[in-house]
A and B are shown apart, each in its own frame.
Chain A
Amino acid sequence: MIQARRDVLLALGLFCASRAIWCDNAQADAPGDRDTASKTALRFGLTPVILDDRIAFLRLWANWLEQQLNRPVVFVQRSRYREIMDLLLRDRLDLAWICGYPYVQHQQALSLIAVPKFQGQPLYQSYIIVATESPFESLSDLQGRLFAWSDPDSNSGYLYPRFALMAQGHDPDHFFRRTFFTWGHRHCIEAVAAGLADGAAVDSYVWETLALRNPELTQGTRIILRSPLFGFPPLVGAPGLADTDLQTIRRVLLAQEANQTGNRLLGELSLDGFVAAQPSLFREIARMAETVRPGSAP
């Protein structure tokens, strides 16, 4: 509650700061600003790969992007990766922040715009977590237990744990007594902390960010397995995204860490910045996807 209030205050502070900058720019570049509203909005899809429940922050980021891109920016949120993917593939979105797993599945149709830098590099992990007080020490201890997946299209919350079980010679569909989806990494952490599930697989970026912002939540969980490093969930362009737009967006994103307000917004996301990346960054995810394909549907 207090944390939330602090976030709102911080967001308001940022908002004021950004308004000030916006005003400066408006004076310098008035004609360009006037047609911001008239241009078609940039539709930006978000998935629970980030903490997408922070509306005030997202509004500030949209404001900043609008000002940088000189066109309206609309964030589109859905609770499930698949819905965002559908919208993206049908060009109902211009770009989206998606997981590496659906990216490698639709790599041909999508264009890689940028990958965020987390802890200095565009990489993250999957954490297998259990309740702090529980006796489990390894993934195999969870046999016959309750397990929470994050999303069937999540790399860290679904693909990797299944791959890891298969690598240990288990059948991921029958290894646990029962599994269910929570449709979010944060929910997975909550489910394990509350005792709803015995274990869960979560995005290391989400867990670490929550450990900083809501330590009382992550304190109820303990990491028993850290995956190898994978490519961080990327920002990808829709099949129909014009190349000029793609370049503009990429330029803005790559320059965000150099901009004072943009950098503060990145700090809010616990990210260091965005980098351009090659599809090869997701090779490992593609390999796992290939391995688990026959039983990929839950």
Chain B
Amino acid sequence: MTLKLSSYRHRLPLSLSVAAIATAILMALSLGLQTLDNLREDQGHNALRLGHAMSEVLVQALRHDDVWLAYSLLRGPEENVADATWLLVDETERIFASNRPARYRLDQPLKEAIVWLPTSVPWHETAALGRVHPIATQPDGTRRVLRLQLASDGTPVGELVGLLSDAPFLGRFREILLGGILVTGGVLLVLLPIGWLWGRRMASPLTQLASCMALVGKEDPRRLRYLVPDSDSEIGQLGRQFAAMLSALAEKEALERQMVQAERLAAVGRVAAGVAHEVNNPLGGMLMAIDTYRQAHEIDARTSRLLDLMDRALQQIRGSVSALLVEARGDTRTLTAQDLEDVRTLIQPKLACSSVILTWRNGFAAPTNLPAAPVRQLLLNLLLNAVQAARDGGQVQVELSAEEKRLLMRVDNSGLTLPPEQLAHLFEPYPEARPKAQGLGLWICYQIVSQLGGTIRVMSEVGLTRFQVALPLRVGGAE
């Protein structure tokens, strides 16, 4: 797996880890340097305190020429682990005693013994307080020099020189540093996986959103909505906005589809109506001509047969054309609850021969101002269609109700699920998907519903296909 650094999925945890490591290193470094500084300072203080403590006896040793006394004092209890190199210098600036006697010999001039040592400061009252000077690191590791003037009765008798190096506490410093590194490493060991997981968790909604956006235009927006991350963070807000956008998009698409369908159906309706009118006019003339001819002339049997043939053919054309031309507003009688119950009665024979079980719930009672005939036809068509779709032994359920000044009709059947492409063309006359059906039932339903200003919807899922009609009830009976 290659790490793509451009992705937040890697960048976020990586930067968290880098930040954690950088912080740890910087902290360890600064603490380490601070510790080293403190250790050096402490060493200086301790050396100065020790120098002051020893000064009285050292003065005595110098005055009494007691080399052994000075040496045994400077040597301390444990000569090999001494913190500093001590040199006791007499007033002629020659070494009198040292805790490194093999290196700094008795009577050796100080200038010869330590060539880099700055010349001693002239005698001054403050010099008796002693000072620790930092110097450039010498080959023997000396980094600081302590100089303490020794005086007896205000007169200088010698000087105590201490050479301080980091060596005494370097081991301890290394231990501290190692301890710090180990602790930091341990903390990092815990923090890094947590940071990595946290980073991934933070980045995952982003990547989820990104992959979701990449699918826009390829996938159904309604399905995409379930892939959008949901949380209270800014990314969550972004996700919600995106989901809102997706649903708006889906709504728009659905609306567009409906509009296209409605326009197509309207165009087909107009064509059908136009053709019907165009055909009906000459048809009426031709039928009238045949009738007139019959009345005005003696007709032999052969002619009569011919005229009958023509008459029947023309009547058939008129029937077919009338079927296309739905006139919902023609009836002046208004719909009552009884009309709807009539439909139930009318469908009984059909039910009997197909053994479909009908569940009928009529919650509609009041008379309406809807025209009776088209609504009866509408319900009958829907019912016939449902019984046919339910097939033998199936179930059909009808529910009628009035709600918010609308008449609602719901017709369910337990037939086969209709594929989406079939649903899209369901209301068209002579649909391709159902070549065997007569083909005008649902077309007529659609025409009636649109002429009455209502809506008709169909949905189909496993075991249930539902037609839902809503017709507005005009108040006050204006028409």
Interchain CA distance A183-B72 in the complex, whole Å: 12
Assess whether B72 is in contact with A187, with CB atoms less than 8 Å apart. yes
User: Is A194 touching B66 in the complex (CB atoms < 8 A)?
Assistant: no
A187 to B79, CA, bound (A): 14
Q: Given contacts A187-B72, A194-B102, A196-B101, are A180 and B65 in contact (CB under 8 A)?
A: yes
The answer, yes or no, to whether A54 is at the interface (CB within 8 Å) is no
Count, chain B residues at interface, CB 8 A = 15
The size of the chain A interface, using a CB distance under 8 A, is: 13
- Does A63 sit within 8 A of B, measured CB to CB? no
Q: Hey, which chain B residues are within 8 Å of A191, CB to CB? A: 68, 71, 101
> CB-defined interface of B105-121 with A at 8 Å, one 1/0 digit per residue?
11100000000000000
- Which single member of B66, B72, B97, B101 contacts A195 (CB below 8 Å)? B101
* Contact status of A180 and B107, CB under 8 A, knowing A187-B72, A194-B79, A196-B101: no
Q: Is the interface of A mostly helix, strand, loop or mixed?
A: mixed
Whether, in the assembled complex, B67 has its beta carbon less than 8 Å from a beta carbon of chain A, the answer is yes
- A148 nearest CB neighbor, chain B only: B68
Residue in B67, B75, B79, B105 whose Cβ sees the most chain A Cβ within 10 Å:
B67
A112 within 8 A of B: no
Query: In the complex, what's the smallest C-beta–C-beta distance from A178 to chain B, in angstroms?
Result: 6
Query: Could you mark each residue 205-240 of chain A with 1 if its beta carbon is under 8 Å from any beta carbon of chain B, else 0?
Result: 000000000000000000000000000000000000
Which residues of chain A are near B72, meaning CB under 8 Å?
A: 187
Residues in A with CB closer than 8 Å to B67 are 180, 196
Whether a CB of chain B sits under 8 angstroms from the CB of A276 is no
Docked Cα-Cα span, A235 to B101, in Å, equals 36
**Least distance between B1 CB and chain A CB atoms (Å):** 61
**Which chain A residue lies CB-closest to B100?**
A195
Q: Which of B81-127 contact A (CB under 8 A)?
A: 97, 101-103, 105-107
Instruction: Please report the C-alpha to C-alpha distance between residue A187 and residue B73 in the assembled complex, in whole angstroms.
Output: 13
**Bound form: Cα–Cα A177–B65 in Å:** 15
CB within 8 Å for A146 and B71 given contacts A180-B65, A180-B66, A194-B79? no
Q: Which of B68, B97, B101 has the most CB of A within 10 A?
A: B68
Which residue of the partner chain A has the closest CB to B71?
Answer: A196
Indicate if the CB atoms of B68 and A178 lie closer than 8 Å: no
A182 interface residue, CB < 8 Å from B?
Answer: yes
Determine the distance from Cα of A46 to Cα of B435 in the docked complex, in whole angstroms.
139
State whether B68 touches A182 (Cβ < 8 A). yes
**Contact assessment for A146 and B68 in the assembled complex, using a CB-CB cutoff below 8 Å:** no
A181 within 8 A of partner (CB): yes
Known contacts A180-B65, A180-B67, A181-B68; is A195 also within 8 Å of B102 by CB? Answer: yes
For A182, list chain B residues within 8 Å (CB): 68
A265–chain B nearest beta-carbon distance, Å: 28
Flag if A146 contacts B79 (CB, 8 Å): no
Contacts of A178 in B (CB 8 A): 106-107
Residues from chain B with Cβ under 8 Å of A187 in the complex: 68, 72
Residues in A with CB closer than 8 Å to B103 are 195
Could you say which of A146, A148, A180, A187 has the most chain B C-beta atoms within 10 Å of its C-beta?
A180
A187 to B65, CA, bound (A): 17
> How many whole Å from A129's CB to the nearest CB in chain B?
15
A183 to B106, CA, bound (A): 18
19 contacts across the A-B interface (CB closer than 8 A): A146-B106, A148-B68, A178-B106, A178-B107, A180-B65, A180-B68, A180-B106, A183-B68, A191-B68, A191-B71, A191-B101, A194-B71, A194-B75, A194-B79, A195-B101, A196-B67, A196-B71, A196-B101, A196-B106
**Footprint of B on A, CB under 8 Å?**
146, 148, 177-178, 180-183, 187, 191, 194-196
Interchain residue pairs A-B with the least CB separation, the first 7: A195-B102, A196-B101, A180-B67, A182-B68, A195-B101, A194-B101, A146-B106
